[in-house]
């Protein structure tokens, strides 16, 4: 089942108002144990993040988002997945390099787990950093089956607080079907001058866009989000995940700059100081700030299609919990925000990126997406007819994308970390290590390079906009 009708499938509903419990790390054994044993159970949930807003969704262990899993680098992870979702399901471990059979892609790396059945995922999570997990059966991630997993690096710089922030949304169920057909009337407005919407349908509707009732952080809508108390002098690490299925977020913390150290869990060539983060679908960023004075501040996610429910939470020092928090302007005009070019110290094309030259090369033109169309294409073809990348272990691979559509495409490669070496005609002096990267619209280009040194198997390469993926924008890297 791939359409919204899935959400009405069997199973008794439980109800939650907030998912603050999801913020507590799930640990089943002592900190020094060689293996972390976890049970994840998926089941229907009546998700109510704010009075008057409710949604018949799905949850891991009764919360949206699911629990934060924290595992030490080198520690084994054993997850007993119990499927009570009402339909077939899997769990994908996004950003992990792991045995192909553990990757959790239905009908590619495993048969989907039937409703009422169980599956054991067992592997050593790697590499270190901020990763996440989610169902890879549409539309279960849209419905709420996702959560963060942190692989802790013992060599990381210490933080006084290490805070997981999952940005996610409450969809309008009927809009999922219409988005799949390219006939959604969900409005796309541009309240703050983002580059996201340079080209739109004439009537301001994008056709493939899911409509959202509300935007949430960690299971709640502002002002019901859980405030976070910080203290003067503390150094705070924010682990930010955009778990929205279709939309980019711009994240700002009022009164502060953010020092970005990691992208998709991978260390940047050098930290970057910004006022805002552009976080594409499925991307993660680690951003730091220091509390220099008492106060209360809004941390906010700006969206392309805002609802009446802000994606925000308050950080405050002791005694300031009742103060009116300092907010951010609803604009990106003149704001220094994170870009790949900034992080990679972009140079004019003609300079040589440090990533090794490739022996296997593949170019894709991303197309489709016209109003009323349910086709998103790679070189004019839709899955399963798209051109696969066939490699042998040890090959150096280069993949180049040219985006001929008017939408960003957050392209994700399973089971690998690749280097972004070029974007929009500019080479990066320092390749940017990622597992998901936004290819800009209207002729935007991007080039990746990676070594085919992952475990052999079939590794999906796809757009992480769930609608685009399901309508054809995906292929594979296949090891021979």
- Residue 177 pairs in a beta bridge with none
Determine the CATH number of domain 171-338. Answer: 2.60.40.420
Q: Which SS3 state, helix, strand or coil, does residue 48 take?
A: strand
Please give the distance of CA 266 from its chain centroid, rounded to a whole number: 14
Q: How far apart are CA 336 and CA 347, in angstroms?
A: 18
* pLDDT on residue 346: 53
Between the alpha carbon of residue 112 and those of residues 85, 87, 247, 384, 391, the distances in Å are 12, 9, 27, 18, 26
Q: Which SS3 state, helix, strand or coil, does residue 173 take?
A: helix
At 284-311, the pLDDT tens digits run: 999 999 999 999 999 999 875 555 456 8
> Going residue by residue through the chain (480 aa), what tens digit of pLDDT does each one get?
333 333 333 344 554 444 444 455 554 334 567 999 999 999 999 999 988 888 899 999 999 999 999 999 999 999 999 999 999 999 999 999 999 999 999 999 999 999 999 999 999 999 999 999 999 999 999 999 999 999 999 999 999 999 999 999 888 766 666 655 555 555 544 333 334 443 444 445 555 567 778 889 999 999 999 999 999 999 999 999 999 988 889 999 999 999 999 999 999 989 999 999 999 999 999 999 999 999 999 999 987 555 545 689 999 999 999 999 999 877 777 889 999 999 987 555 554 445 566 789 999 999 998 766 678 999 999 999 999 999 999 999 999 999 999 889 999 999 999 999 999 999 998 999 999 999 999 999 999 999 999 999 999 999 999 999 999 999 999 999
- Residue 149 pairs in a beta bridge with 69, 131
* pLDDT on residue 328: 84
Q: Residue 79 burial by CB count (10 A; 0-12/13-18/19+): exposed, middle or buried?
A: buried
Which residue is it, tokens 């690490």? 237
Range list of H helices, 302-375: 340-343
CB 198 within 8 A of CB 442: yes
DSSP annotation of 16 reads E
Q: How far apart are CA 150 and CA 475, in angstroms?
A: 28
Q: Which CATH number fits domain 346-479: 2.60.40.420, 3.10.129.10, 3.90.1170.50, 3.40.50.1100?
A: 2.60.40.420
Taking Cα atoms as reference points, which of 232, 185, 240, 236 lies closest to residue 210?
185
What is the dihedral angle through the alpha carbons of 428, 434, 440, 445, rounded to the nearest 10 degrees? Answer: 50
- For strands 228-229 and 311-316, give the pairing: parallel
Q: How far apart are CA 304 and CA 249, in angstroms?
A: 8
CB 221 within 8 A of CB 215: yes
* pLDDT on residue 18: 43
Tokens of 236: 């705070």
- Residue 26 pairs in a beta bridge with 69
Q: How far apart are CA 55 and CA 46, in angstroms?
A: 6
Taking Cα atoms as reference points, which of 276, 277, 216, 279 lies closest to residue 248?
279
- For strands 14-16 and 35-50, give the pairing: parallel
Which residue is it, tokens 């006022």? 275
Taking Cα atoms as reference points, which of 148, 399, 463, 128 lies closest to residue 265?
128
Other C-beta atoms within 10 Å of 123: how many?
Answer: 18
Q: Residue 476 burial by CB count (10 A; 0-12/13-18/19+): exposed, middle or buried?
A: buried
Q: How far apart are CA 208 and CA 178, in angstroms?
A: 7
CB 441 within 8 A of CB 407: yes
Please give the distance of CA 306 from its chain centroid, rounded to a whole number: 19
CB 173 within 8 A of CB 179: no
CATH 2.60.40.420 domain span(s) along the chain: 4-154, 171-338, 346-479
Tokens of 217: 């952080």
* pLDDT on residue 374: 77
Q: How far apart are CA 242 and CA 285, in angstroms?
A: 9
CB 234 within 8 A of CB 123: no
* pLDDT on residue 406: 85
Q: How far apart are CA 97 and CA 94, in angstroms?
A: 9
Q: How far apart are CA 275 and CA 265, in angstroms?
A: 20
* pLDDT on residue 211: 73
> Where does 331-425 show beta strands of DSSP type E?
346-348, 360-368, 376-378, 389-391, 396-403, 409-413, 418-423
Instruction: Tell me the CATH class for 4-154.
Output: mainly beta
* pLDDT on residue 89: 99
Q: How far apart are CA 309 and CA 53, in angstroms?
A: 10
Other C-beta atoms within 10 Å of 83: how many?
Answer: 24
Range list of H helices, 331-396: 340-343
């Amino acid at each position: 089942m791939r359409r919204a009708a899935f959400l009405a499938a069997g199973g008794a509903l439980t109800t939650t108002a907030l998912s603050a419990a999801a913020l507590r790390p799930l640990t089943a054994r002592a900190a020094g144990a060689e293996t972390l044993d976890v049970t994840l159970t998926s089941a229907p949930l009546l998700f109510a993040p704010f009075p008057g807003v409710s949604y018949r969704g799905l949850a891991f262990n009764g919360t949206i988002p699911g629990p934060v899993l924290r595992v030490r680098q080198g520690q084994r992870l054993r997850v007993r997945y119990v499927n009570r979702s009402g339909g077939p399901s899997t769990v994908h471990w996004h950003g992990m390099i792991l045995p192909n059979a553990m990757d959790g892609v239905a009908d590619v790396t495993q048969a989907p787990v039937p409703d009422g059945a169980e599956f054991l995922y067992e592997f050593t999570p790697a590499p270190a950093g901020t990763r996440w997990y989610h169902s890879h059966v549409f539309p279960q991630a849209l419905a709420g089956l996702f959560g963060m997993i942190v692989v802790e690096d013992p060599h990381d710089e210490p933080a006084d607080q290490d805070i997981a922030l999952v940005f996610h949304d409450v969809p309008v169920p009927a809009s999922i079907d219409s988005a799949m057909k390219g006939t959604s009337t969900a409005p796309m407005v541009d309240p703050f001058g983002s580059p996201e919407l340079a080209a739109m349908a004439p009537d301001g509707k994008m056709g493939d866009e899911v409509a959202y009732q509300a935007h949430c952080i960690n299971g709640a809508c502002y002002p019901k989000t859980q405030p976070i108390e910080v203290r003067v002098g503390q150094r705070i690490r924010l682990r930010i995940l955009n778990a929205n299925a279709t939309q980019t977020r711009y994240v700002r913390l009022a009164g502060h700059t953010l020092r970005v150290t990691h992208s998709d869990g991978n260390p940047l060539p050098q930290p970057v100081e910004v006022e805002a983060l552009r976080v594409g679908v499925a991307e993660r960023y680690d951003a730091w700030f220091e509390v220099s004075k008492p106060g209360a501040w809004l941390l906010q996610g700006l969206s392309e299609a805002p609802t009446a429910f802000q994606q925000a939470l308050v950080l405050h020092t002791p005694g300031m919990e009742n103060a009116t928090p300092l907010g951010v302007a609803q604009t990106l005009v003149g704001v220094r925000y994170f870009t790949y070019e900034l992080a990679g110290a972009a140079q004019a094309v003609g300079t040589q990126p440090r990533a090794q030259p490739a022996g296997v090369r593949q170019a894709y033109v991303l197309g489709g997406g016209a109003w009323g169309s349910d086709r998103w294409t790679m070189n004019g073809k839709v899955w399963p007819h798209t051109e696969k990348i066939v490699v042998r272990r040890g090959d150096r691979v280069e993949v180049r994308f040219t985006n001929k559509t008017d939408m960003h495409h957050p392209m994700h490669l399973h089971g690998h970390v690749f280097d972004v070496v070029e974007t929009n005609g500019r080479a990066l002096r320092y390749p940017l290590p990622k597992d998901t990267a936004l290819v800009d619209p209207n002729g935007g280009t991007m080039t990746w390079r990676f070594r085919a040194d992952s475990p052999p198997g079939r590794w999906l390469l796809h757009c992480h906009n769930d609608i685009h993926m399901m309508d054809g924008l995906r292929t594979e890297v296949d090891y021979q």
